[in-house]
Structure 1
Amino acid sequence: MTNDAEEEKNPVLSSNGNFVVYTKAHDLYAYNVEEESEVRLTNDGGELIYNGWASWVYYEEILGRSSRYRAFWVSPNSKYVAFLRFDDSPVPEFPIYHSPGQHGKLEKTRYPKAGDPDPIVKLGIANLKTGKVVWADFDYSIDQYIAWPFWNPEGNVLTVQWMNRKQDTLKIFAVDPEIGSTNKIYEEHQDSWVEWFEDLKILKEGKGMIIRSNKSGWAHLYYFDSNGKLIKQLTDGQWEVKSIAYVDEANERIFFQGWDDESTENHLFVVNLDGSGLTKLTEQPGTHSCMVSPEGKYFIDRFSNINTPTKIDIFDGEGKFVKSLGNSKSELFDEYNLAQVELFRIPTEDGFELPVKWFLPPDFDENKKYPVLISIYGGPNAGTVRNSFPYWMQQYYLAQEGIIVASVDHRGSGHFGKQGVAWMHRNLGKWEMNDYITFVKWLEEKPFVDSNKIAITGGSYGGYVTCMAMTYGSDYFDYGLAQYSVTDWHLYDNVYTERYMDTPEENPEGYKNGSVLTYADKYKGGLLITHGTIDDNVHMQNTLQFIDKLETLNKDFEMMIYPGERHGVRRKFMHAFNLSMKFFFKNLLGRDFVM
């Protein structure tokens, strides 16, 4: 089809099979299959201009990593392609050093840190047959974010979402693909921050749209007409809709995933388009990840809980079992002497019940003393305590060796809705540490816990929390393994950071109080830090500024640098794994780790 030196990226076939749309050298192209010809839809792509290819901060924080940088969307009628055009010229350049070779090299990236200018983004719509491009009628001179467009099923109207720089107001616009005119059909404001509608559903024949919003403090479904007038709130209460699985328009019902009574679980539900008939289709306590078939006649359920390895079954649209597709539990499973896994909650002084999952040694004895390893992530709305079977067996192994391995989620982790997450607004670090320290205090009351061997570990945001625990919380945590950690929010990207913290200019105290560097003088020892040298997400600059502070204070720590590794260690995973095991065995068990 094509035969030139440039690589075609993210090819998408139009629904009628007549066009293949892709990007090449930061321009957008369409290949006409019938005419066997390539049409170049944009012409200004280059080092700083990207058409249909996302700027890094959009890829990481707005469109998501699953986009693979794709920033174009072909209409269902195969007539148009909507795309975002990025101009990265206002974005500051950040150098990343590569060490191989005699002189090494610098990778120059465009990375907006907190308070920095954003890329300039425009929304274009190209006619696939004529190649004509029109631009949506927005004021592109202001600070704003434009993303998450959805075509209506007929392909003649594009809805696109707009957000202000402060990220507390979101609007939905209907765009005419022929002339680019815009019409606002929805607006939402929250005092903390708003979030993108990533699973917005546009109904056929102009019958409206389904929005999943957390504006009430809990994520629920709302049915609006095409002009943005509310027809019906479909779900309500102190529980959460996590995603829209399928809209069965023929039978006027919506399948969705979420939780009702227990936030550590995930289930499939169905509700009618008039708000009646809310039904939970999955019954077993645990985590159900479901895929609904076209027309909603069946769904595939991938299920596990703390005591049940993953199994996959088919059910009909009413929740009746049809057939088993697979079960990862072998015949020998029950013969293994695995850790005892328990799921429970502990109270905070101000009324939250924090979920905890821990792995106890198989021969657990309350009359013995055990070290505890707390494994966390800790980011906003990113809880890790789930009633599910673990993907890998590290927790079981460490428990078998005599370590209690625990995970605990704080009030802002998502278990208490948006109203819980909003506690983190303008003060990242504060409530995470408050709740993790509450858990350690609870642990120290247990006669079987060795209160001198409390360790914590995590990566990325979990690395940040680990560093905070070893500085701010050093009276409670004895050892920590911090991996590719944020250490100061001035150093992380602006979209993520400002969503929760506002800008450094607007919230100087919040940035100071949320910085690991502020509490470096409280550090007492016992910290191992790791980082990849070419991490393009959380720059190694974070680690370097932290260790510079520790060295200035004459504090001892351990450190392992991974040359050529980005965010998370991939190529040298076994080295990083062995390093962590040696650290935990030495400090928590008092013996060497042997493979």
Structure 2
Amino acid sequence: MLKKTTFLLFLTGISLQAQQQLTVEKIMQDPRWMGTFPSDVRWDDHGEVLYFKYNRDNDPSDSLYRINIKSPGTIEKVHAREAVALVPETGSYNKDRTKKLFTEGKSLFIYDLRKRKRTELIQTDEHIGNPQFLADENRIVFQTGANLFTYSLSDGHIRQVTRIRKGEAPGKKDKKESPKAQWLREENLGLLRVVNEREEKKEQSREYAEMIAEKPPYTFYPGDRQITNLQLSPDEKFAVFNLRTPGDSRKTVVPDYIDTSGYTTDLRTRAKVGEETTKTEMAVYNLEKDTVYPVKTGALPGLDDLPDYTRDYPGKDWGSAERALMISGASFSPDGKHMVVNVRSKDNKDRWIALLDPENGNLKNLDRQRDEAWIAGPGIGWSTGGGILGWLPDNKHIYFQSEESGYSHLYLLDVTTGRKKALTSGAFEVFDPFLSADGTHWYLTTSEVNPGERHFYKMPVYGGPMEQLTSMTGNNEVSLSPDEKHLAIRHSYSNRPWELYLKKNSVRAKETRLTSGRSEAFAAYPWRDPELIHFTAADGTKVPARLYLPEKGVKNNAAVLFVHGAGYLQNAHKWWSLYFREYMFHNLLTDLGYTVLDIDYRGSAGYGRDWRTAIYRHMGGKDLSDQVDGARFLIAEHGIDPQKIGIYGGSYGGFITLMAMFKEGDTFTSGAALRSVTDWAHYNHGYTSNILNEPYNDPEAYRRSSPVYFAEGLKGHLLIAHGMVDVNVHFQDVVRLTQRLIELGKDHWEMAVYPAEDHGFTEPSSWTDEYKRILKIFNTTLLKEE
């Protein structure tokens, strides 16, 4: 007979074991069961209070909370009225950061940081946007409608700077006279003298009226083009803006079968790749000469360079016209004397940073970045422009990021001499660099310690040793206080979600944790710290991955490979995964005896330019062979049965799963393809055209990259799961694929549809149903369970 204390310990052990046991229903429930974790961290303008989103009180959604750093142990909820009265985070400062401009609704405010006083300057009938201090800080500029206005802080005088009106200029004929109409008119005037005389009198009257009339002020009419990025130079001599001509492309319709109305409704979504016809130009508004003229791109080098892939189509006429370009908004030097612009080719093979001469609209190339795959990377951005680009306070150096060395690093360039200098270098990448308030230092995040870690650094403005200011292993997302005395750090580790820390801005200072949001139920389970490993691919490349190993007593010699989505994303790292549900599912699989491998295949983020572009013109090439080589690694090094290997993933991961099941059926026994692309010619333009070019220009790239062309290769068991109102990867993708599978007479496949779900599922019931099906297919095919 057990003693009382022994019996109680026995019962406690059973209770703890039951609490720790994972089920699909448990891990796929509303994420609030895990606890509350801080997000959207920001400082007040005085560096005294931290604000962040949190949910300590189990509200329907996250609310705004605050911590006063003088009493960091107290977390207070910010009530709605108080939140409305806060000075917004967004706004613009004067040089010494004593005043801040911001807008609320249709009002413009200025906040005096020394007096801690906010003052309403203007209230209008239209939205006010982009207020900025000018070189004369007694004057500010803001945009209302399609025009810029200046405001004098000394006397309150408002002056309209630009005159831009939508549409065509008055009197301008929309259509030219047809040849037939012109002939009839001239014939009539020649035959009938009275008609001719009357017409001459009308013309003389018009000319006289124009001669004596007061000349109207100059007004620019953009026609059917949209005005964007309207900016005034700090010296108030020029304005620049973009002219955007929307493309006339056909949009795909996604039906919603469970709309509230009870009727099927159509959601108009995006166009397919290759149908992007949007045109972007730039113009200069010369305020002294009161005229507008276009920015001229013809002097940029390499405009007629053909991409290398065109050599694969020797019979195709590529023409001789210059490539279409996209110009981003101008960046002005602090004194307004220099302007630089960011220009991209629409095929995204080139990025130019160019000096703009506002007197004539000419561009002078300062730096050309060329990539035969596509221009991208941290701080560089994708095809629509953007990227890091700005000025040092000395008015002659610009800064930007480039993958010139194979990794994205920070550069300076002297616009007066053209000399360029790399401020950082090495086999790592730079993220989110920004200048200190006094312009003497950089603050930046890098992966120098390890590709799977992120740390925050300080570096002299013209380069030099970097001081590492964070020390906690994992990811350190830093928000620097306005006075630069403190770091607010949102930190996480592989098996610990995000928490908020405070640290003095010093290498030697220690971090103090401010939040502790894990629930008891979540903390009760011993979440695994997956091992970061590298295995050797067939081509000799070291491939990074996360490895989950089961205990010897439960190991079943079966394995599951997870393929992360997004393509350009990193998941083999040391911080809390964006795929937290999948991470928990991998713990469940490992409890059941599975070995799990999560690979940062070729095309993933975090490993430099060559890794990023290894999938160019062949998605389902190196990114798929990395999965096959990962399976072989598990067989050779961890005793996995070659007949007991499954694969799954969503979005890009679903695409790779389909390619694996169709092309590598001898490697993978079963797979689950979730919200997967089945034919890249049906995906969007911005993402796909970079990697595969355009389908009518490079059809071979699309044929070898699209699973629908390889469906006849299916041998194993396949689950296809898709949301029916997916406006990213349309449900049409899997409908077309299932028809192919039907026509091919394939067995051992099934499809699960989710009528209420978009690309990213939101309903716990949908997550639960989907992952119960995934678990079932692996248990029944890899473990032969009924």
TM-score by length of 2: 0.62
1:146 and 2:335 aligned = no
Q: CA deviation at 1:566?
A: 3.7
Describe the superposition over 1:42-61 as per-residue Cα deviations: whole angstroms up to 9, x where unpaired: 5149xx96735xxxxxxxxx
AA in 1 matched with 2:487: F
1:209 and 2:388 aligned = no
Contact 2:722–2:754, Cα closer than 8 Å, also in 1: yes
Q: What residue in structure 2 maps to residue 95 of structure 1? A: 253
Call closer, same or farther: CA 1:484–1:82 in 2, change over 3 Å.
farther
Quick check: which one's strand share is greater?
Answer: 1
Identity across aligned pairs (percent)?
22
1:546 and 2:737 aligned = yes
1-side partners of 2:144 and 2:645: how far apart?
52
Q: What residue in structure 1 maps to residue 563 of structure 2? A: 376
Q: CA deviation at 1:119?
A: 0.8
Q: What residue in structure 2 maps to residue 471 of structure 1? A: 662
Q: CA deviation at 1:75?
A: 5.4
1-side partners of 2:128 and 2:755: how far apart?
33
Describe the superposition over 1:82-106 as per-residue Cα deviations: whole angstroms up to 9, x where unpaired: 5543323443443343444577454
AA in 2 matched with 1:121: T
1:518 and 2:678 aligned = no
Q: CA deviation at 1:171?
A: 0.8
Contact 1:41–1:133, Cα closer than 8 Å, also in 2: no
Q: Secondary structure at the match of 1:411?
A: coil
AA in 2 matched with 1:496: Y
> Is the deviation greater in 207-216 or in 312-321?
312-321
Of 591, 599, 603, which residue of structure 2 is paired with 1:408? 599
Q: What residue in structure 2 maps to residue 303 of structure 1? A: 491
1-side partners of 2:289 and 2:720: how far apart?
56
Contact 2:719–2:774, Cα closer than 8 Å, also in 1: no
Q: CA deviation at 1:213?
A: 0.7
1:508 and 2:699 aligned = yes
Q: Secondary structure at the match of 1:427?
A: coil
Q: CA deviation at 1:458?
A: 2.4
> Is the deviation greater in 191-200 or in 33-42?
33-42
Contact 1:444–1:450, Cα closer than 8 Å, also in 2: yes
Q: What residue in structure 1 maps to residue 273 of structure 2? A: 113
Contact 2:270–2:684, Cα closer than 8 Å, also in 1: no
Q: What residue in structure 2 maps to residue 12 of structure 1? A: 129
1:259 and 2:447 aligned = yes
Contact 1:174–1:185, Cα closer than 8 Å, also in 2: yes
Structure 2 unpaired stretches of 5+: 1-104, 108-124, 134-138, 169-222, 299-320, 382-386, 782-786
> Is the deviation greater in 137-146 or in 436-445?
137-146
Q: CA deviation at 1:123?
A: 2.7
Counting only pairs closer than 5 Å after superposition, residues 354-433 of structure 1 correspond to structure 2 as 354-360=543-549, 364-365=551-552, 368-369=555-556, 371-377=558-564, 379-390=566-577, 392=580, 394-400=582-588, 401-402=591-592, 403-433=594-624
Of 475, 485, 503, which residue of structure 2 is paired with 1:287? 475
Counting only pairs closer than 5 Å after superposition, residues 33-48 of structure 1 correspond to structure 2 as 41-44=164-167
Q: CA deviation at 1:276?
A: 1.8
Q: What residue in structure 2 maps to residue 183 of structure 1? A: 364
Counting only pairs closer than 5 Å after superposition, residues 338-349 of structure 1 correspond to structure 2 as 338-349=527-538
Q: CA deviation at 1:514?
A: 0.9
Call closer, same or farther: CA 1:144–1:561 in 2, change over 3 Å.
farther
Q: Secondary structure at the match of 2:478?
A: strand
1-side partners of 2:395 and 2:481: how far apart?
23
Describe the superposition over 1:153-194 as per-residue Cα deviations: whole angstroms up to 9, x where unpaired: 445654321122332211123345676554333222223322
Q: What residue in structure 1 maps to residue 677 of structure 2? A: 486
Call closer, same or farther: CA 1:416–1:390 in 2, change over 3 Å.
closer
AA in 1 matched with 2:760: G
Call closer, same or farther: CA 1:331–1:456 in 2, change over 3 Å.
closer
Q: What residue in structure 2 maps to residue 58 of structure 1? A: none
Call closer, same or farther: CA 1:287–1:422 in 2, change over 3 Å.
same
Q: What residue in structure 2 maps to residue 456 of structure 1? A: 647
2-side partners of 1:563 and 1:367: how far apart?
38
Call closer, same or farther: CA 1:83–1:533 in 2, change over 3 Å.
farther
Contact 1:411–1:420, Cα closer than 8 Å, also in 2: yes
AA in 2 matched with 1:12: G
> Is the deviation greater in 126-135 or in 541-550?
126-135
Of 707, 722, 731, which residue of structure 2 is paired with 1:531? 722
1-side partners of 2:396 and 2:513: how far apart?
37
Q: Secondary structure at the match of 2:710?
A: helix
Contact 1:15–1:77, Cα closer than 8 Å, also in 2: no
1-side partners of 2:734 and 2:717: how far apart?
16
1:498 and 2:655 aligned = no
Describe the superposition over 1:475-498 as per-residue Cα deviations: whole angstroms up to 9, x where unpaired: 222333323222222222333222
Contact 1:112–1:118, Cα closer than 8 Å, also in 2: no
Contact 1:482–1:527, Cα closer than 8 Å, also in 2: yes
Of 47, 51, 68, which residue of structure 1 is paired with 2:226? 51
Call closer, same or farther: CA 1:374–1:227 in 2, change over 3 Å.
farther
Describe the superposition over 1:521-566 as per-residue Cα deviations: whole angstroms up to 9, x where unpaired: 1112432223334433323332222222111112243223344644
Call closer, same or farther: CA 1:131–1:479 in 2, change over 3 Å.
farther
Q: CA deviation at 1:265?
A: 1.2
Q: CA deviation at 1:409?
A: 0.7
1:137 and 2:296 aligned = yes
Q: Secondary structure at the match of 1:414?
A: coil
RMSD: 3.9
Q: CA deviation at 1:433?
A: 0.6
Contact 1:186–1:228, Cα closer than 8 Å, also in 2: no
How many pairs are equivalent? Answer: 557
Contact 1:248–1:295, Cα closer than 8 Å, also in 2: no
1:85 and 2:243 aligned = yes
Q: What residue in structure 2 maps to residue 57 of structure 1? A: none
Q: Secondary structure at the match of 1:274?
A: coil
1:444 and 2:635 aligned = yes
Contact 2:241–2:329, Cα closer than 8 Å, also in 1: no
Contact 2:443–2:457, Cα closer than 8 Å, also in 1: yes
